[in-house]
Amino acid sequence: MEACKPESFPLLNDLCQSQSQIFPPTPPDTDKEYSDSSSDPSDTEAIKPQSHHHDTLNPPLLPPYPLPPSPRPDNTVLTEDLKTPDNHVVRDPRLIRLTGIHPFNVEAPLSELYDEGFLTTKGLHYVRNHGAVPKVEDTEILDWDFTVEGMVDNPIHMNLAQLLQDYQQLTYPITLVCAGNRRKEQNIVRKTKGFSWGAAGLSTALWTGVAIGDLIRAAMPRRGARYVCFEGADKLPNGYYGTSIKLSWALDAERGVMLAHKMNGETLPPDHGKPLRVVIPGQIGGRSVKWLKKIIITKEPSDNWYHIYDNRVLPTMIDPEMSADLPEVWKDERNAIYDLNTNSATCFPAHDEILPLGGPEHAVYKVRGYGYAGGGKRISRVEITLDKGKTWALANVSYPEDQYRLAAEGETLYGGLVDLSWRESCFCWCFWELDIPITQLQAADDIMVRAMDEAMMVQPRDMYWSVLGMMNNPWFRVVIHKEGHTLRFEHPTQPALMPGGWMERVKKSGGNLTNGYWGEQLAGEAEVAEIVAEAKEICMTNSKVDRIISLEELKSHDGETEPWFVVNGEVYDGTAFLEGHPGGPTSITGAAGQDASEEFLAIHSENAKAMMVDYHIGTLDKTSQSLLAADGEPTAASENAPPREVFLDHKVWTKAILSAKTSVSHDSKIFTFDLEHADQAIGLPIGQHLMMRLRDPVTREAILRAYTPLSPSTDRGKLDVLIKLYRATATQQGGRMTTALDSIPLGHFVDFKGPTGKFEYLGRGRISISGRERKVRRFVMVCGGSGITPIFAVLRAVLGDRDDPTSCVVLDGNRTEEDILCKAELDAFLVDNEHRYKLNYLLSQPGPAWTGGRGRIDRDLIVREVGPCQSTDGADMLLVCGPKPLEESVLSIFTDMGWKKDDMVFF
């Protein structure tokens, strides 16, 4: 039989009614075995499906609807979670982690999710956690209390036992979908501010609980109340997680909003809100608050940080950098996501699935997938095209949810009434399938699917990119590759950092994914391959070293005298470099006994990596490597510990909240952070710096940089950091750290660690370099741009003490007058300090009104303003911070003038 022509594709259903061969086999149905489910509402045990071996004389009564498949009995707490706050949570190892080890954000492999059937087991249900999972013991479940408060005449404070006793229990299926489902596709087109979900960020379960409308009516909302706010028990850097929906939705029984305490007949698992959560059908999962503690009736939407800065679709022209300075756009409720949009995806053929050719003449392949819509709407149509949308064929659509509408009147399941017969809304995903002749697949380049809901809203052909990467729903395209006597299928992407997918391949080859043709080269369009620089492999190990080191031996060197640390499984002894490290000994001792791979690789140059060969002493054994990875990084004190007096710790990353951004020039800002409490000291010695860490929102790679804050060491509760922003231009990328930092909104957290640095000013001419004290009479300070910050810290300390006899000469080079940072403060220091302070500004691009120095910091200037080295006993000290060319020039000039390297410090 010849391959069908594309124009005949809409008729293929009529062509394949006999002698069909199905690839791959149909997955097993969701378990439909039945047992009497009228259990007591307080029962928290799952109803176990009966055995498939039945008494033929007394067959069991089968319900008209599916029951959940049995979860895996051997799941346990996973090794990678043992040293995280989630060390009490049982999880399925099949789940794909999207944000590293912690917090736990996962989706199932798409094929396995589909194969479980209509209902998803607790093990494979997707999880979206913003932080640690609250620990609730089984004995505490019934005592879990929550409130209904705000604009109500009858505030309610009750526990779960009362909720079970006083209110009608309901059970029905609901599909939850993360707003980020399919975000990886957007991240490949252009990075968003979200991590990379694949197409399995959705799951369906049977939820048992109370209609929230019953509870709210009992609280008697007042006139003018319009919103219901929810707040959970998961404490996060920006407060407890919370959000809101409209009050009218919560009161509408057709909407089906529920306070759930069971999932698939069992007590809620910890990852899914144990013991009480909100479940909102038809809306994004981010509105269904877990670990519920408060229901607040209000006039306005929630002012919770997570309600404002998450789950939004901002206009497509707003990029991550712009979004950071648009608080009113974030607060605009028109940008908030509530109802899901219409979406579909292909599950089979799976990614990289191979289909052998040469079978029966009329063989067909059953293409299958899922679809869903929002706001209670039903998917009314699913269409497939093999010719990029020229012609379409209708797929067969099944709605397992409708089987629950056939439940007998008064029937209960898991203690809840199964009564959907009256409800018109659709709360769940549906399944579509279409038998396609294999000959037609051979003739096609791809398979694309689109769905339409009953409001005639159809998936768009093209992507609508937005800064958070949410609600992504263009046609789902699977590419077909002809490889010998087989067909290989390629999905758009793979989740998280997993490689693969036609979008990644097309982008790497120079294709324009936004050209409206899926990145395919158009007629007359020049092919431009993306030039990917080949990573230079740096050897960091000594081939002559074959020593195997245990974790116990490593941990015995976690102090300050003989610090050992691990990079990529190899052990290094930092003892010999304690004095010579540019960041001071704490840069090494802070990593002692730990896996320093992330920090080391993020901030060190190729030269530094090449030096590691000299410090390599062995390899950590495989078991120890696993244990060290599970150990995770040291964390700050627990929530119940007394508040720390000092913020910085050189071994522990600590979070501070971004509270303000203040522009001080066209490319520089002061970022203000709130510390853990108002009386907390920063803990940074004068002249030293701290490490700041952010994570790339897509790759989750750590971005680390060292900064000297503007804040005096005496400040408490707040931290000011002056940072020059390196923005992207048409010819070069922006700075990774400054781009990321400038794009986060106020209220976001940033990690800090320190102090580091080998130099410290102890006051009145006393300094310490790598732990060795000495006395100086004069500082020569050379800086450029934002390199003023460590200079400014020392200068402020000297001139702020009237009894400090140390003199200071400052040479500050910049392009324009606007580029001079801290100018007002530097000028103010001149008052009453002329005898010990000389200030020189140099501009390479001065304006006509500039009366100060012109040009660059060169030898003539230095000889004129600094003069010869005044002593040979180390009484003069050079401090330098600025761009690399400036530092190299200054080093050369001062060396030629007879200065010793011991008398120079480069920050």
Averaged pLDDT, 669-684: 94
Question: Can you give the pLDDT at residue 704?
Answer: 86
d(CA 202, CA 341): 13
Catalytic residue among 105, 187, 311, 840: 311
Give percent of the chain above pLDDT 70: 89
pLDDT band at residue 707 under the 50/70/90 scheme: very high
Question: Can you give the pLDDT at residue 592?
Answer: 81
d(CA 739, CA 752): 18
pLDDT for 57 beyond 70: no
pLDDT for 731 beyond 80: no
Question: Can you give the pLDDT at residue 82?
Answer: 87
Q: What is the pLDDT of residues 217-252, one digit of tens each?
A: 999 999 999 999 999 999 888 889 999 999 999 999
Question: Can you give the pLDDT at residue 535?
Answer: 47
Question: Can you give the pLDDT at residue 1?
Answer: 34
- HSE-CB at 692 with a 13 A cutoff on CA atoms is 24
Averaged pLDDT, 878-900: 91
pLDDT for 39 beyond 70: no
Question: Can you give the pLDDT at residue 29?
Answer: 46
- pTM recorded for the entire structure: 0.77
d(CA 586, CA 596): 13
Residue 539 annotated in active site: no
Q: What is the pLDDT of residues 76-104, one digit of tens each?
A: 999 889 888 999 999 999 999 998 888 99
pLDDT for 493 beyond 90: yes
Question: Can you give the pLDDT at residue 359?
Answer: 84
pLDDT for 888 beyond 80: yes
pLDDT for 654 beyond 80: yes
d(CA 429, CA 204): 8
Tokens 């979406």 correspond to 343
DSSP annotation of 386 reads S
Question: Can you give the pLDDT at residue 525?
Answer: 55
Token pair of 467 as six digits: 């800064």
pLDDT band at residue 382 under the 50/70/90 scheme: very high
Residue 178 annotated in active site: yes
Question: Can you give the pLDDT at residue 873?
Answer: 72
pLDDT band at residue 31 under the 50/70/90 scheme: very low
Q: Judge contact between 718 and 674, C-beta under 8 A.
A: yes
Averaged pLDDT, 1-12: 38
Task: Output the average pLDDT for the chain.
Answer: 87
User: Which amino acid would we find at residue 840?
Assistant: N
Catalytic residue among 178, 430, 822, 881: 178
Residue 207 Rama label (left phi>0; alpha psi -120 to 50; beta): beta
Residue 827 annotated in active site: no
Distances (CA, A) of 871 to 310, 775, 885, 903: 60, 12, 27, 11
DSSP, residue by residue, 660-727: EEEEEETTEEEEEEE-SSTT-B----TT-EEEEEEE-TTT--EEEEEE--SS-TT-BSEEEEEEE---
Question: Can you give the pLDDT at residue 567?
Answer: 87
Averaged pLDDT, 448-459: 97
Catalytic residue among 310, 319, 419, 446: 310
Question: Can you give the pLDDT at residue 74?
Answer: 93
Of 747 and 146, the structure prediction assigns the larger pLDDT to 146
pLDDT for 122 beyond 90: yes
Q: Judge contact between 163 and 259, C-beta under 8 A.
A: yes
Question: Can you give the pLDDT at residue 841?
Answer: 94
> CA torsion angle for 424, 430, 436, 442 (degrees, to 10)?
140
pLDDT for 614 beyond 50: yes
